[in-house]
Amino acid sequence: MRRQNILFIILLLSLGIGTYFFFSSTDNHLSSVEARDFGIKNIELIDKIFLSSKNGSQTVLTKETDIWRINGNYVARNLRIQTLLKTAEKIKVKQRVPIAKKERIIKNLATSNIKAEFYAGDKLIKSYFIGSADGLTTGTYMLLINEESGENHSTPFLTHLPGFEGYLTPRYEPNPSTWRDLKIFYFPKNAIKSVSLNYPENPENNFEIKLQKNKYVLFQKNKAIKSNELSIKKYLLNFKSIAAESLIPNPFKDSIQNRLTNQKPWFTLSVKNLLDKTTIIKGYKKDLPIGSTNSIGVPIFYDPDRFYGICFNNELGSLQHYVFEPLLTVKSKLE
């Protein structure tokens, strides 16, 4: 009996050691820390991130004081930047790629991948290729690049973010438009000098609000009219943070904008801040296919959820009614 126990213990130890080497070691000494070390320890030092894909998309994210910019131009969404930085810091190896799958995974990484490079100043801190998810979408195949030599390690690993269920590839998306901060109006401290809202089809609802002697005054046709000060203050709070849902890319953008040029806008909204910078948006109702009905069968002609907006200096966006509804009030509600 004692001999059987000893044999059982030896078997368990052998199995444990074998499992350890299977998941922590690879061919050509790739069990080294360098081949598995995807995480960035001092993530706060990163001030530039380069993302590129095989299809030609690429994005350079650069930090300027307290904001990040996309390709040196547009402001990036802070939440998305922080998500990527957290991922780059906390990412871990879940397991090594089984030998039987190694060749196939390497081929997939070679033909379809995203390359990520993280810099601190001019120094390349970390770089690797990001591939697809595993069959259960609980891990992401990645391959490290040696920062010193620039050569790829020969064995990929299945990585994950502890505490997160899902694959990580979308966090490294290299399409610049997906990183854009799409806030149209951002007045967290109500630094508004004036608001002008015009409805071409219903001019009786037009109005303008101007800051005069530290007080907001309601105007129509350039004449001050009686107003409810509390209603105006509540209305202006709606401009705290308003964003587009998405930008419409080419070739759809040009065809839609050409069609809109022959229509009157549903509204034109203009907001000026205390530094005299003006933001203008023109809204257009989105036509539905002929014969469309609502849930009870009543015919409807316009999309009840979304509309088009010309914003960001003549870019075309998809905007949501429920987001903009508080802004699209009428004069009578402010009197």
Contact at 8 Å (CB) between 187 and 239? yes
DSSP state of 188: T
Distances in whole angstroms, Cα of residue 176 to Cα of each of 49, 193, 205, 309? 12, 32, 39, 20
Question: Can you give the C-alpha Rg of the chain in angstroms?
Answer: 28
In tens, the pLDDT along 27-48 reads: 344 445 566 789 999 999 999 9
Lowest mean pLDDT among 26-30, 31-35, 69-73, 177-181: 26-30
Q: How far is CA 260 from the centre of its chain?
A: 27
Domain ranges for the chain: 32-175, 183-334
Distance in angstroms (rounded) separating the CA atoms of residues 288 and 300:
8
Helices (H), 91-196: 99-111
Banded model confidence at residue 18, pLDDT cuts 50, 70, 90 = very low
Summary mean pLDDT of the chain? 87
* Nearest CA among 143, 173, 139, 144 for reference residue 159: 139
In tens, the pLDDT along 261-314 reads: 889 999 999 999 999 999 999 999 999 999 999 889 899 999 999 999 999 988
pTM: 0.72
pLDDT score recorded for residue 28? 40
Lowest mean pLDDT among 14-18, 44-48, 114-118: 14-18
Banded model confidence at residue 10, pLDDT cuts 50, 70, 90 = low
Q: How many residues does the chain have?
A: 335
Helices (H), the chain: 2-24, 33-36, 78-90, 99-111, 229-236, 252-260, 321-324
